[in-house]
């Protein structure tokens, strides 16, 4: 029986399924392991079922036991794993696409709405009982019928577009390449990020974290935005230069920012906590029971396929 090191505590049903298939080392306390603990804990194992919180960079991979042949990441994003170095070491890396598309797109809409309609300030006013209805009380920016720019038109970007259309929004996007008319579904392609940013009244950040997208939203690119743009980020903190974003939130380039993901999670840039025109969530994009179950099931499936000699369906390297 193959042996799998599971870095985080999963839902009970998912752990039971893993136990049926493999010898497993579970993390019953759900401690977030350091790189050293992952290396040490997995040294007698054949594979790792990792999570988005695990720092599996080049150095960690170089120190993993030779017996590790697969890292099945229980997330669609795999920016936490140096998948190229893993390949060089003969380790297969997989992710969990599709199953969290809807949950994450739902949260993206919540971020855009929460930010544009001042949900944070509203909550503060309600809980401190320091409000009264008035004609100009907490006036937000209406999302319906606006132009939405989508940065990264993959599965999640397209699912956001579908939802935004129900708000009467006109969809624009920038992607590495133009999509087929079928996938575009009426959205307007912009060859450059600059063109997209110049057009957007609302901006949905949905690109993966890669070396190319690190801090792609920075002082220069934020200067392409119109005054008072609303930005939502359910992708990764790494794609935003926080200092530049904070400046844009203060000078009015960005009307409000809704974010679910952070640089160096779970830490949050202290300035974000001081600003009012912000709507923060603690990485809840995939946080529904059904979705989390599906993600762990899919990671398990990848392990099962790999250990039975097949190419796992979600291999990324
Ligand atoms: C993912 O799958 O990448 C999500 O961010 C996990 O919550």
Residue bearing the CA closest to ligand 1, atom 4: 75
Contact yes or no for 310/30 (Cβ under 8 A): no
Contact yes or no for 53/8 (Cβ under 8 A): yes
Ligand 1 atom nearest the C-alpha of 96 is: 2
Q: What is the pLDDT along the chain (317 residues), one digit of tens a residue?
A: 999 999 999 999 999 999 999 999 999 999 999 999 999 999 999 999 999 999 999 999 999 999 999 999 999 999 999 999 999 999 999 999 999 999 999 999 999 999 999 999 999 999 999 999 999 999 999 999 999 999 999 999 999 999 999 999 999 999 999 999 999 999 999 999 999 999 999 999 999 999 999 999 999 999 999 999 999 999 999 999 999 999 999 999 999 999 999 999 999 999 999 999 999 999 999 999 999 999 999 999 999 999 999 999 999 99
Residue 93's pLDDT is 98
Residue 170's pLDDT is 98
Asked if residue 100 has its Cβ within 6 Å of ligand 1, the reply is yes
Non-local (6+) Cβ contacts of 289 within 8 A are: 11
Asked if residue 97 has its Cβ within 6 Å of ligand 1, the reply is no
In the chain the domains, ranked by start, together with CATH numbers, are 3-99+288-307 (3.40.50.720), 101-280 (3.40.50.720)
- Could you tell me the distance, in angstroms and rounded to a whole number, from the CA of residue 297 to the centre of ligand 1? 14
User: What are the E-state strand segments in the chain?
Assistant: 3-6, 23-25, 47-50, 70-73, 92-94, 147-151, 170-174, 188-189, 202-205, 229-233, 254-259, 278-280
Q: Is 214 exposed, middle or buried (0-12, 13-18, 19+ CB in 10 A)?
A: middle
Kindly list the catalytic residues: 236, 265, 283
- Could you tell me the distance, in angstroms and rounded to a whole number, from the CA of residue 212 to the centre of ligand 1? 19
Q: Is 126 exposed, middle or buried (0-12, 13-18, 19+ CB in 10 A)?
A: exposed
Residue 150's pLDDT is 98
């Amino acid at each position: 029986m193959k042996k799998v090191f599971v870095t985080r505590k999963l839902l009970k049903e998912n752990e039971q399924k893993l136990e049926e298939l493999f010898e497993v080392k579970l993390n019953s306390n759900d401690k977030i392991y350091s790189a050293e603990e992952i290396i040490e804990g997995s040294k007698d194992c054949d594979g790792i079922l990792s999570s988005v919180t695990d720092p599996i960079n080049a150095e960690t991979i170089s120190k993993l036991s030779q017996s590790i042949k697969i890292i099945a990441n229980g997330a669609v994003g795999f920016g936490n794993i140096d998948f190229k170095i893993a390949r060089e070491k003969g380790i297969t890396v997989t992710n969990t696409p599709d199953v969290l598309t809807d949950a994450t797109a739902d949260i993206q809409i919540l971020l855009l709405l929460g930010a544009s309609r001042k949900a944070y300030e509203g909550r503060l006013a309600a809980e401190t009982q320091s409000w009264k209805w008035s004609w100009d009380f907490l006036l937000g920016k209406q999302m319906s019928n606006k132009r939405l720019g989508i940065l990264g038109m993959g599965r999640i970007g397209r699912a956001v577009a579908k939802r935004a259309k129900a708000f009467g929004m006109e969809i624009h996007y920038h992607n590495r390449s133009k999509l087929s008319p079928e996938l575009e579904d009426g959205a307007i392609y912009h060859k450059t990020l600059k063109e997209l940013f110049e057009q957007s009244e609302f901006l949905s950040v949905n690109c993966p974290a890669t070396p190319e997208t690190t801090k792609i939203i920075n002082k220069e690119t934020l200067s392409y935005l119109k005054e008072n743009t609303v930005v939502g980020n359910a992708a990764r903190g790494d794609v935003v230069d926080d200092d530049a974003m904070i400046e844009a939130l203060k000078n009015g380039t960005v009307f409000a920012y809704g974010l679910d993901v952070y640089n160096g999670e779970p830490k949050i840039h202290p300035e974000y906590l001081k600003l009012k025109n912000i709507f923060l969530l603690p990485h809840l994009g995939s946080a529904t029971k059904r979705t989390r179950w599906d993600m762990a099931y899919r990671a398990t499936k990848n392990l099962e396929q790999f250990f039975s000699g097949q190419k796992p369906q979600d291999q990324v390297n």
